[in-house]
């Protein structure tokens, strides 16, 4: 067993294992735990550093600089560039997400099987359900209690109830959560059961070698088989890890296809079919303080429009980010900042139809992505419903934050009209993409997919992919638990393959 900090390495390092995993987030950690339990020698290589909960940043901007890829502001390219958000730390995005846990919706699974019936044997629903049960037990996944949720979350319940929309407390992977509202910076008390607090320590206790602050640059091949990785530590020294049985990519829907391509893999679908959940938010002012930075970061959701591709969530930001979201200058801005305790943020996540592409450009990673007309109809409806909910919950006014439309709305009828009169130009909205999928998607046809039903890259021995890049489509819900369930099936496959 060993934990190696790449920032401290002073000489080239090489080692041999049965399995090498690239990425330590939900996918990589799940594969690592399963294979360590099976008695295999395993290494996990992570580009980011390990976070001690006591050192978790208090403000969002420091966290973005330290724990997010590209300061949390890496942009898609297209008519309306949007930041896409990824964590970069031991434990991956699980360290800095809102701890939201969803089982893969059955209707999404059925959609996958209708498009490619061969996936039925690779992703049987009964096996996924079994893995979900295990994950919910091991990660203490349970609905957020009212006492932890805080006022900002309970107000969403009130607004949804008034509009007759189905809603519920968000199920989260936490234990003894006190509602500090700091999930997005890393829990300072270690009460979010992220991968750095759960699966990775268990795997290390079983013999896992965990390399932090080490970036994999390319995969190594010999006689048509993937046999390891070549990497560079943060200290600048070379790291080479051999894998006698398998290399598993769990580096995300952006980094995994890039690593495959720069390692010489050429598949027609590689990097294509990028899908995600663009999110749009709205703020509202309440007469009584709501203190948006207190309570569970994201503790309530409205799911009544999920099948239409719209899901609403409370957004919990720290003071610095909340202040940055206020518009205006001079006295007006000063007044709003002085009254931050009265402002509340909610968001709508969109199950977008848009399909983009991930590639390497002259300036680095390039994610080409443009929302469709149907997507913008969902965005517009999401803003309208969200504003109406907030007014129904007691907001004095709401600020849609949409260029070319009312800066503030107090009349529910005017807010409802936004669904039909609001702009359809994506440039009018401030959106960000979370939850990315599809760039190494799984399928039976090598012409239209990258990974086969056995989780192996088509035409490559010993090379597997286990992250959300293999998802045939986006899911419309937070994918952490779905990623882990599929990764567990991938690990079972590797453990039984010879």
Q: Kindly report the backbone phi and psi dihedral angles of residue 246, in degrees, each rounded to the nearest multiple of 5, phi listed first.
A: -165, 150
Strand partners, 241: 15, 229
* 435 is annotated as an active-site residue: yes
Q: What is the pLDDT of residues 33-86, one digit of tens each?
A: 999 999 999 999 999 999 999 999 988 889 999 999 988 879 999 999 999 999
Residue 164 scores a pLDDT above 80: yes
Give the pLDDT band (50/70/90) at residue 498.
low
Mean pLDDT of 467-472: 98
Residue 132 scores a pLDDT above 50: yes
Residue 223 scores a pLDDT above 80: yes
Asked if 487 and 27 touch (Cβ cutoff 8 Å), the reply is: yes
Average confidence score pLDDT of the chain: 95
The Cα–Cα gap between 221 and 243 comes to 10
Residue 1 scores a pLDDT above 60: no
The pLDDT of residue 162: 98
- What string of DSSP letters covers 73-129? TEEPBSSS--EE--B-BTTGGGGTS--B--PPPHHHHHHHHHH-TTHHHHS-HHHHH
What are the Cα distances from residue 125, in Å, to 27, 120, 435, 485? 19, 8, 22, 11
**Strand pairing of 13-22 and 238-249?**
parallel
Q: What is the pLDDT of residues 381-400, one digit of tens each?
A: 999 999 999 999 999 999 99
Mean pLDDT of 80-102: 96
Mean pLDDT of 298-316: 97
The pLDDT of residue 332: 73
Nearest alpha-carbon partner for 99 in 47, 153, 143: 143
Residue with tokens 């009460």: 191
Catalytic residue, from 342, 435, 458, 496: name it. Answer: 435
Q: Is 370 helix (H, G, I), strand (E, B) or coil?
A: coil
In the chain, residues under CATH classification 3.50.50.60 are: 1-51+102-138+196-271+439-498
The pLDDT of residue 420: 96
- The two tokens of residue 281 are 């938010």
User: In residues, how long is the chain?
Assistant: 498
Task: Identify the residue with better confidence: 332 or 359.
Answer: 359
The Cα–Cα gap between 498 and 496 comes to 6
Q: What is the pLDDT of residues 229-270, one digit of tens each?
A: 999 999 999 999 999 999 999 999 999 999 999 999 999 999
Mean pLDDT of 479-491: 98
In the chain, residues under CATH classification 3.30.560 are: 69-85+142-185+274-437
Mean pLDDT of 210-215: 98
Asked if 174 and 191 touch (Cβ cutoff 8 Å), the reply is: yes
CATH of 69-85+142-185+274-437, one of 2.60.40, 3.30.1230, 3.30.560, 3.30.43: 3.30.560
Residue with tokens 């890039």: 258
Q: What is the pLDDT of residues 321-354, one digit of tens each?
A: 777 766 767 777 777 778 889 999 999 999 999 9
Q: Which CATH architecture has domain 1-51+102-138+196-271+439-498?
A: 3-Layer(bba) Sandwich (3.50)
The pLDDT of residue 179: 95
Asked if 250 and 23 touch (Cβ cutoff 8 Å), the reply is: yes
Strands (E) in 322-427, as ranges, are 343-350, 356-361, 364-368, 397-399
Total-model pTM: 0.96
């Amino acid at each position: 067993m060993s934990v190696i900090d790449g920032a401290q390495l002073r000489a080239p390092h090489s080692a041999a294992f049965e399995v090498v995993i690239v990425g330590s987030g939900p996918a990589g950690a799940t594969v690592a735990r399963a294979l360590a339990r099976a008695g295999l020698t395993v290494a996990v290589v992570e580009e980011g550093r390990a976070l001690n909960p006591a050192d978790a940043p208090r403000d969002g901007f420091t966290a973005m600089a330290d724990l997010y890829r590209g300061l949390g502001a890496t942009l898609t390219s297209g008519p309306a560039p949007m930041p896409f958000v990824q964590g970069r730390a031991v434990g991956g995005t699980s360290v800095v997400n809102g701890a939201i846990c969803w089982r893969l919706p059955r209707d999404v699974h059925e959609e996958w099987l209708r498009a490619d019936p061969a996936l039925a044997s690779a992703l049987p629903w009964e096996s996924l359900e079994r893995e979900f049960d295990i994950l919910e037990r091991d990660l203490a996944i349970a609905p957020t209690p009212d006492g932890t949720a805080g006022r900002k979350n309970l107000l969403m319940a009130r607004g949804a109830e008034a509009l007759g929309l189905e809603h519920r407390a968000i199920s989260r992977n936490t234990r003894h959560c006190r509602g500090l509202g700091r999930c997005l910076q890393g829990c300072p008390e270690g009460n979010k059961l992220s991968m750095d607090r759960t699966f990775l320590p268990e795997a290390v206790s079983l013999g896992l070698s965990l390399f932090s602050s080490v970036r994999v640059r390319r995969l190594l091949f010999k006689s048509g088989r993937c046999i390891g990785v070549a990497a560079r530590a943060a200290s600048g020294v070379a790291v080479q890890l051999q894998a006698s049985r398998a290399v598993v990519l769990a580096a995300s829907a952006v980094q995994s296809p890039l690593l495959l391509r720069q390692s010489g893999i050429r598949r027609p679908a590689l990097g294509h079919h990028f899908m995600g959940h663009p999110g749009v938010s709205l703020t509202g002012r309440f007469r009584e303080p709501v203190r948006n930075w207190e309570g569970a970061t994201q503790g309530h959701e409205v799911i009544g429009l999920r099948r239409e591709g719209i899901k609403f969530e409370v957004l919990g930001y720290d003071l610095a980010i909340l202040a940055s979201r206020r518009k205006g200058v001079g006295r007006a801005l000063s007044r709003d900042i002085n009254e931050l305790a009265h402002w509340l943020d909610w968001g709508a996540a969109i199950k977008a139809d848009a399909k983009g592409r991930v590639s390497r450009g002259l300036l680095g990673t390039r994610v080409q992505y443009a929302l469709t007309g149907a997507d913008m109809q969902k965005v517009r409806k999401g803003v309208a419903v969200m504003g109406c909910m907030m007014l129904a919950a007691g907001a004095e006014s709401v600020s849609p934050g949409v260029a070319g439309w009312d800066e503030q709305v107090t009349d529910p009828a005017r807010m409802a009209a936004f669904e039909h009169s609001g702009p359809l130009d994506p440039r009018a909205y401030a959106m960000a993409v979370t939850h990315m999928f599809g760039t190494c998607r799984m399928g039976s046809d090598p012409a239209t997919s990258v990974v086969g039903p056995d989780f192996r890259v088509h035409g490559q021995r010993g090379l597997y992919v286990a992250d959300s890049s293999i998802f045939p489509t986006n899911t419309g819900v937070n994918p952490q638990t779905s990623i882990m369930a599929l990764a567990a099936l991938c690990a079972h496959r590797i453990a039984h393959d010879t």
